[in-house]
């Protein structure tokens, strides 16, 4: 996919991000930007620091460096307010509330919203994207299959109505056909105006979808470029795309 207009303004800017777990520096001086309308992906192996980076943006873990959203510094903003600012999230491991129903899971994502009419329109939108969820509204989240849970997690992120969506490994634990479905939906969501930052181990799918990507290795950005450039890069090919 070709990148949208390069002049578009910056939605998310991460500068010199460092994350420590005790004495271990998990993320080292990472910098990247996400522009309006883009899909940007962070790829890398286990432990490369991808999820930590996302968790820092969500305000769940402490960090050093600067993260700003539409020009606003996020450092002092608590996690729950970050959502209200317009950053929707699909957390690692999906974060489905197992003993709550599908309907309650979706409703929770509207917690910060006051626009009732818009909310009911958004429910319809989620049902039209994921008809399966509508069939299972009164079922407990924990009884859904892995694919359905991922749909619910994405549906929830849609209900929180962000202009930037963060996704942490949406392909995790899913059959290839379901991964394809989810990624197709992500492209549609992007085309309808939502900017996406995607963290993935499934580099092939992520790079095919993304406009731009960054490769993370042991906490550093080692390679960056457009999705196509990265797919053609011999090192990326060898390390992440199976040669």
Partner 1 sequence: MNKKQIVSSSLLLIAIILLALLPLMTKKNSTINLVILLLLYMTLASSWNILGGYTGQTNLGHAAFFGIGSLITRLLWIGGIPFSIAFLAGGIGAVALALLIGIPAFKLRGVYFAIGTLALAQILNLTVSNIFPEMSYNPNLADYQLMPRYYLFLVLAILTIGSAYFLVNSKWGLGMMAVREGEDAAESLGISALKHKLLALSVSAFFAGLVGGAFAYYHVSYYLSMPFGPEWTFDPMMMAYIGGTGTIIGPIIGAVFFVGLKQFLVWNVGEYHLIIFGTLFILIVLFLPGGLVEAWNKSRRLLQSRTGQKKNRVVPIT
Nearer to partner 1, 166 or 221 (CB): 166
Indicate whether 82 belongs to the interface with partner 1 (CB under 8 A): yes
Q: Which stretch binds partner 1 (CB under 8 A): 104-112, 122-130, 187-195, 228-236?
A: 104-112
Rounded-to-integer distance, Cα 5 and Cα 15, Å: 22
Indicate whether 109 belongs to the interface with partner 1 (CB under 8 A): yes
Minimum CB separation from partner 1 for residue 114, in Å?
11
Nearer to partner 1, 55 or 136 (CB): 55
Rounded-to-integer distance, Cα 14 and Cα 32, Å: 5
Q: Which stretch binds partner 1 (CB under 8 A): 82-90, 120-128, 195-203, 222-230?
A: 82-90
Indicate whether 96 belongs to the interface with partner 1 (CB under 8 A): yes
Residue in 20, 97, 127, 204 binding partner 1, rule: CB under 8 A: 97
Residue in 49, 59, 219, 227 binding partner 1, rule: CB under 8 A: 59
Indicate whether 225 belongs to the interface with partner 1 (CB under 8 A): no
Residue in 29, 36, 104, 181 binding partner 1, rule: CB under 8 A: 104
Nearer to partner 1, 40 or 166 (CB): 166
- 175-214 positions binding partner 1, by CB under 8 A: none
Residues 97 and 141 sit within 8 Å (Cβ to Cβ): yes
Per CB under 8 A, residues contacting partner 1 are 58-60, 78-84, 89-91, 95-100, 104, 107-109, 111-112, 156, 160
């Amino acid at each position: 996919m070709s990148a949208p207009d390069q002049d578009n303004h910056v939605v998310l800017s991460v500068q010199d991000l460092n994350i420590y777990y005790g004495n271990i520096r998990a993320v080292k001086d990472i910098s990247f930007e996400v522009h309006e309308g883009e899909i940007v992906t962070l790829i890398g192996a286990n432990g490369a620091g991808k999820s930590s980076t996302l968790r820092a943006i969500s305000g769940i873990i402490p960090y050093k460096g600067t993260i700003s959203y539409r020009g606003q510094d996020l450092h002092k903003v608590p996690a729950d307010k970050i959502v209200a600012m317009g950053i929707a999230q699909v957390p690692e491991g999906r974060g489905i509330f197992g003993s709550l129903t599908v309907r309650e899971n979706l409703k929770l994502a509207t917690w910060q919203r006051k626009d009732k009419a818009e909310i009911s329109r958004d429910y319809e939108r989620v049902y039209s994207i994921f008809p399966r969820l509508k069939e299972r509204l009164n079922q407990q989240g924990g009884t859904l299959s892995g694919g359905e849970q991922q749909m619910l997690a994405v549906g929830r992120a849609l209900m929180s109505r962000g202009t930037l969506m963060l996704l942490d490994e949406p392909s995790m634990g899913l059959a290839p056909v379901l991964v394809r479905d989810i990624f197709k939906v992500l492209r549609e969501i992007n085309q309808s105006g939502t900017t996406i930052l995607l963290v993935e181990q499934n580099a092939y799918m992520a790079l095919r979808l993304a406009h731009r990507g960054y490769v993370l290795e042991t906490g550093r950005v080692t390679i960056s470029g457009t999705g196509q450039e990265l797919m053609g890069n011999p090192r990326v090919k060898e390390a992440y795309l199976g040669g």
